């Protein structure tokens, strides 16, 4: 029964000619054989073309495209374009430097069909660059509040790689091609917002993620202004969705996440970005701790002149978080 469903695997790539072959071999080894693999080249200048042409000759299920020049550079546009080219009833975005366990497609699809759901989330283990050593094993996921609230408060671990989507779930939701950071978080939270009951947790490690310095995902947060701004913008979007029905503990956790991100902007001395996102949060009706925003705004000039004040703000945020960070949300009334 499962064999009738086509799964579209979409892989953005940039200068991964020396790695992508291992990824494609792991796809060839899948026990579920009804798949298409769409690789979108984001402007590689190595021999990616030759590598992909070899796989296309080997197996017609591999398809290779270049990101159109009228689309912004980056993985977001490549993933969106790959989706536009895909025809599968199920979608699996993947990275060009990691490996699939042979049964991942079969197991994720089986769970979706049996439970009649649209989103399957598995786990991944992080390996050394040669895949010989496991550096970090995955911890099981569980849903405490609901999948949306747990994800936006960082309790539920989900990313594009670990997830299989029914096409109808994501058909009208695209990755924001203007974002340079936190784009996966932004996309997933928008999907889960209206589909939190459609999630199946498959607590098995079915992906091997390679650890290396040039990972496409990179570090979570760095000092590059465009990425700092992108990360703050996504956090602000989530805050804007807070309303009177949002559980109080969720509100508090989101405020804490926002504060900690602001302190990083504070530390990096990105003045325009800091004051812009202080002002935006201050104007939000449901944002309760506005006094802390004011303290950050007032202390920042002192920090610029003297280098003092950062420790005080970190203590302030930590004190604010103690009352709720360790409280279970299992019994929250939604």
pLDDT 10s digits, 198-249: 999 999 999 999 987 554 444 434 568 889 999 999 999 999 999 989 999 9
> In whole angstroms, what is the distance from residue 194 CA to residue 186 CA?
14
Burial of 308 (0-12, 13-18, 19+ CB in 10 A): exposed
b (16+ CB within 10 A) / e for 227-242:
bbbbbbbbbbebbeeb
**CATH T-level fold of 2-210:** Spore Coat Polysaccharide Biosynthesis Protein SpsA; Chain A (3.90.550)
pLDDT score, position 173: 97
Q: Say yes or no to pLDDT of 334 above 50.
A: no
pLDDT 10s digits, 114-142: 999 999 999 999 998 888 889 999 999 99
Residue in 105, 110, 61, 69 with CA at minimum distance from that of residue 86: 61
pLDDT score, position 81: 98
Q: What's the chain's length in residues? A: 334
* Averaged pLDDT for residues 257-281: 91
pLDDT score, position 203: 96
Residue in 153, 137, 136, 201 with CA at minimum distance from that of residue 326: 153
* Averaged pLDDT for residues 21-30: 98
Residue in 154, 84, 93 with CA at minimum distance from that of residue 120: 93
Judged by phi (left if over 0) then psi (alpha if -120 to 50, else beta), residue 146 lies in: beta
pLDDT 10s digits, 40-96: 999 999 999 999 999 999 999 999 999 999 999 999 999 999 999 999 999 999 999
pLDDT score, position 2: 77
Q: Provide DSSP, 56-115.
A: HHH-TTEEEEEPPTTS-SSHHHHHHHHHHH---SEEEE--TT-EE-TTHHHHHHHHHHHH
Q: Say yes or no to pLDDT of 31 above 70.
A: yes
Q: Say yes or no to pLDDT of 184 above 50.
A: yes
pLDDT score, position 269: 87
Q: Say yes or no to pLDDT of 188 above 90.
A: yes
Indicate the range of 26-30, 35-39, 258-262 predicted with least confidence: 258-262
pLDDT score, position 130: 85
pLDDT band with cut points at 50, 70 and 90 for residue 331: very low
CATH 3.90.550.10 range(s) for the chain read 2-210
pLDDT score, position 329: 37
Mean pLDDT estimate for the chain: 90
Q: Please, are residues 271 and 300 in contact by the beta-carbon 8 Å criterion?
A: yes
pLDDT score, position 313: 82
* Averaged pLDDT for residues 255-278: 90
Q: Say yes or no to pLDDT of 268 above 80.
A: yes
Q: In Å, how far are 118, 120, 143, 149 from 197, measured between CA atoms?
A: 9, 11, 10, 12
Q: Say yes or no to pLDDT of 320 above 70.
A: no
């Amino acid at each position: 029964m499962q064999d009738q469903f086509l799964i579209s695997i979409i892989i953005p790539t940039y200068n991964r000619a020396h790695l992508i072959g291992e990824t494609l071999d792991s796809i060839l080894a899948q026990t579920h054989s009804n798949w298409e693999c769409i690789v979108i080249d984001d402007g590689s200048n190595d021999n990616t073309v030759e590598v992909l042409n070899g796989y296309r000759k080997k197996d017609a299920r591999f398809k290779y495209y270049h990101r159109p020049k009228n689309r912004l550079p980056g993985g977001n546009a490549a993933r969106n374009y790959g989706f536009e080219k895909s025809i599968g009833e199920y979608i699996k975005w993947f990275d060009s430097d990691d490996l699939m366990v042979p049964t991942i497609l079969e197991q994720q699809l089986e769970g979706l069909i049996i439970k009649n759901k649209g989103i399957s989330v598995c786990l991944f283990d992080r390996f050394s660059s040669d895949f010989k050593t496991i550096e970090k094993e995955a911890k099981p996921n569980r849903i405490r509040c609901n999948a949306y609230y747990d994800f936006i408060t960082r309790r539920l671990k989900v990313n594009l790689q670990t997830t299989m989507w029914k096409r109808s779930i994501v058909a009208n939701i695209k990755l924001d091609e203007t974002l340079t950071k936190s784009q996966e978080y932004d996309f997933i939270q928008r999907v889960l917002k209206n589909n939190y009951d459609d999630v199946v947790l498959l607590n098995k490690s079915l992906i091997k993620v390679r650890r290396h310095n040039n990972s496409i995902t990179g570090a979570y947060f760095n000092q590059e202004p465009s990425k700092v701004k992108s990360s703050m913008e996504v956090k602000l979007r989530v805050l804007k969705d807070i309303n009177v029905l949002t559980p109080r503990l969720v509100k508090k956790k989101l405020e804490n996440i926002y504060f900690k991100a602001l302190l990083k902007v504070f530390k990096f001395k990105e003045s325009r970005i800091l004051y812009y996102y202080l002002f935006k949060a201050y104007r939000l009706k449901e944002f309760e701790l506005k006094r802390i925003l004011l303290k950050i705004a007032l202390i920042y000039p002192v920090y610029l002149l003297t280098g003092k004040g950062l420790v005080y703000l970190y203590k302030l945020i930590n004190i604010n978080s103690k009352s709720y960070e360790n409280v279970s949300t299992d019994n929250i009334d939604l």
